[in-house]
Structure 1
Amino acid sequence: MMDPRQQSPFNALPPIVVALAGAMVAIELLFQAGASGFVGGAEGVGWRLSAMQSFAVSEQVWDWMVETGQAPLGQLLRFVAYPFVHGGFTHTAFVAVFVLALGNVVAPVYPAWRFAAIFFAATLGGALAYLLLFETRAPLIGGFPAAYGLIGAFTYLTQRGLTRADPSRAFLLIGFLLAIQPVFGLLIARNLGWVPDWTADLAGAATGYGMAALLFPGAMHRIRDRLRQR
């Protein structure tokens, strides 16, 4: 394991971080090209809306699954695919920047599969909180719950002294992100019916923190040892 305190901010970004952020940006650029008529013809204009219908976390779909007891794979895919569908370029850019910046701190501590587990666990935790805590008909899209999950992991690492940052800065970052959420509401609410999804964001942060603690190198061995002692 490499100590993040020895990492230069100009080092090459971990591939898993680049892959996740790059996928977000690539999909957004495809939507932009379709909306501009460069690709996809007449159908390209509606690609974003089609993606939302297929991959956004939807309370209507969730209620249907609960009522019927069915969980088709195509509908379950929504819970891990929605971070890659955003309301516009600004929305995507903010999420991608945070994923790259925080990922560059978190990923050196965790192997690629563990980093991906933190990312997608925060995604899932955020979606479940969004569906269960409040009644809303607005779809959940975008990677902010996953980005908050990385903030949670960053908080855990700062508490262990593995970064130079003060632990309080992680909470300041969460506060900053929550403060700018209305900006995205103003930018895309008229077109997509988007509403602030702070419940998903905070649940993502909590999930990321918990997963970071659980997946920290050596943590599982210590847990097993304690269980055996009991």
Structure 2
Amino acid sequence: MFAVEVVLSLSGQALIGGREGIGWRIAAWEDYGFSPAFMPFLFAPGVDQFDVLKRFVTYAFIHASFTDAAFAIVITLAIGKFVGEVMRDSAMAILYIACTILPAIIFGLVAPDGAWLFSGYAPAYGLIGAYTYILWIYLRRRGERQIAAFRLIGFLLALQIVYTAIFGASSRWIAEVPGFIVGFCVTPILLPGGWSALLAKLRTR
């Protein structure tokens, strides 16, 4: 993600790629971004399926600007470090992939025509969902108010509202909210002993 943004930022300043490099970011949006327009072509005969399927993942590595990418990278690294301390590497990979692909599917089904999805915020919100679940369990074991676990996502949603009020609405939230939900829901299964622990928990209820 960082390497891609460095290349696109430098090309935008014509430091690499010459004059053609200035248009690389827009070309990247078109070649690797995701849009509901691709859903009808999913598994359609005669269509390059790789070009369609890759977009469910590659959109997360393309951003609108350097600042946009920086925030996504910071959130991913900060929250990912916390989640990674209690989750295996393989589980982290599954979590990140699930929180990238599933929100894109929902975006493709719900977002209005002409909307585009690119940025790593959907999987970043997925990591926030995992963080929220872990904190939720921790607070329950300590006998504290579990609602406090949702402060971070509440703060981010409040920022989203302020951003929308200032700069206008963006359809990106259609993938970000499902990203959080997916992260929160799959984490109980991905944590060490998660599936058996989840079943045991359900049996006691």
TM-score w.r.t. the length of structure 2 is 0.83
Aligned to 1:100: 77
- Cα distance in 2 between the residues matched to 1:185 and 1:112: 39
| Residues 65, 71 of structure 1: 8 Å contact kept | no
Q: 2:156 aligns with which of 163, 173, 177?
A: 177
For the pair 1:73 / 2:50, whether they are aligned, the reply is yes
Identity of matched residues, %:
33
Aligned to 1:210: 185
- Cα distance in 1 between the residues matched to 2:90 and 2:165: 33
Change over 3 Å in CA distance of 1:39–1:69 after alignment to 2 = closer
Change over 3 Å in CA distance of 1:43–1:202 after alignment to 2 = same
| Residues 62, 118 of structure 2: 8 Å contact kept | yes
Please show how residues 1-230 of structure 1 align to structure 2 within 5 Å.
24-65=1-42, 72-161=49-138, 167-181=146-160, 183=163, 195-221=170-196
Change over 3 Å in CA distance of 1:183–1:30 after alignment to 2 = farther
- Cα distance in 2 between the residues matched to 1:113 and 1:174: 25
- Cα distance in 2 between the residues matched to 1:78 and 1:120: 13
Instruction: Report the AA paired with residue 112 of structure 2.
Output: E
Q: What is the Cα deviation at residue 69 of structure 1?
A: 8.5
| Residues 128, 180 of structure 2: 8 Å contact kept | yes
TM-score w.r.t. the length of structure 1 is 0.75
After TM superposition, the runs of 4+ consecutive aligned structure 1 residues lying more than 6 A away are 162-166, 184-187, 223-226
Change over 3 Å in CA distance of 1:159–1:224 after alignment to 2 = closer
| Residues 151, 170 of structure 1: 8 Å contact kept | no
Name the SS of the counterpart of 1:92 in structure 2. helix
- Cα distance in 2 between the residues matched to 1:97 and 1:201: 16
Name the SS of the counterpart of 2:42 in structure 1. helix
Change over 3 Å in CA distance of 1:169–1:104 after alignment to 2 = farther
Q: What is the Cα deviation at residue 186 of structure 1?
A: 6.7
- Cα distance in 1 between the residues matched to 2:103 and 2:138: 27
| Residues 88, 191 of structure 2: 8 Å contact kept | no
Instruction: Report the AA paired with residue 116 of structure 2.
Output: P
Q: Number of matched residues? A: 198
| Residues 91, 190 of structure 2: 8 Å contact kept | yes
